Amino acid sequence: MTNNMNLENDIIFRYYQPGFEKMQSEIGNEITDSWPYYFQTPELQLKKKYKRYDFDEKSRYYVFYKNKLVGFITSKKDKNNPKIGLMNYPLVYTEFHSLRKGLVEKCITYFQSLKIKEILTTVSPLWEDSILFIKEMGFVKDHDLLVMSRIKLVEIDLNSLIQSKYVRKYDKTTDEIQVIEILSCNLEYSTQQSKAILNSQYPPPELKFVDLVYEKDEKVLGWIRSQISEDDPNVIQTSLGYLIDPVESNIRNSLLEEIIRVSKNFNYTSIRILVNRNSINVINSFNSNLKYDFESILSIYKLQI
């Protein structure tokens, strides 16, 4: 925080007032610009949300320094459990980080007024010092939402991998419609949204075998995409793939094993697989010969009040 700041005269905490949406959206975008897995609600959506009949202006607090907005915090009640409050991590300019505590305290007081007993918040090791800060505020880890598993390719014996005759390179001409159907089913997206995801990085600019499909009896049953990691050109990043029938673990295994085989042949050092909370057991059951390192990417922390 600025050294010559007079806390008593220069710092003001205010709950939401009409007109704050533009400042909130701008600051949120600026602070979280490089944060993966974080989405700042656009100004127009904020205006619509804050006009709802059930919106409580005291669920949002803003902190100003010399009449300039430098940070804010948002929260809401859990629709499924009236005793739980959901708090977003406070977004504050780095030089004013000490004001985060005040914002969280305002949020806690608000929830206490609603007789809420527990607060949940989402943090990530990729979001500045969010985990350290939230622990200092008394929060403890409840569970992981996203986990990154890493496979070190140097430890892989290619002889332990089975090369399936049903796995091949994705062909836009023949496979696009079927893969869009698979994505729409898995992600619950519209056809246009699924098509946009599929075509966002096709054709692959650098790595061969970026998109693979599992085809049997002229029907595509699974699709997987891998790409070079943005932060390390020696690492391949992929997912668990998308299948017509999620229970068909042999299809997922065949797609992943082909990604591993090709990546090792191209001399990449490791593979990262992003796994959500509901799929951690899936990665644990995949090829018992492989060794994984796990890293929490998104986690839920809780505070009893």
Domain spans in the chain, listed from the N-terminal domain onward: 7-138, 148-296
**Residue 155 confidence (pLDDT):** 79
Q: Report the C-alpha gap between 262 and 207 in whole angstroms.
A: 10
In the predicted structure, residue 25 carries a pLDDT above the cut 60: yes
**Residue 151 confidence (pLDDT):** 84
Its pTM stands at 0.73
**Residue 239 confidence (pLDDT):** 84
Q: How many CB atoms lie within 10 A of CB 297?
A: 19
Q: Find out if CATH 3.40.630.30 is the number for domain 7-138.
A: yes
Q: What is the band of 203 on the pLDDT scale with cuts at 50, 70, 90?
A: very low
Two domains, one topology: 7-138 and 148-296: yes
Determine the number of helices (DSSP H) and then strands (DSSP E) in the chain.
Answer: 9, 14
**Residue 44 confidence (pLDDT):** 93
Question: Alpha carbon of 41 to those of 1, 46, 74, 173: distances in Å?
Answer: 26, 6, 11, 36
CATH superfamily membership of 148-296: Gcn5-related N-acetyltransferase (GNAT) (3.40.630.30)
In the predicted structure, residue 213 carries a pLDDT above the cut 50: yes
Mean pLDDT of 234-248: 84
Q: Which residues contact 187 (CB under 8 A, 6 or more apart)?
A: 193, 194, 197, 242
pLDDT in tens, 141-190: 999 888 888 888 887 888 878 889 999 999 999 999 999 999 998 887 88
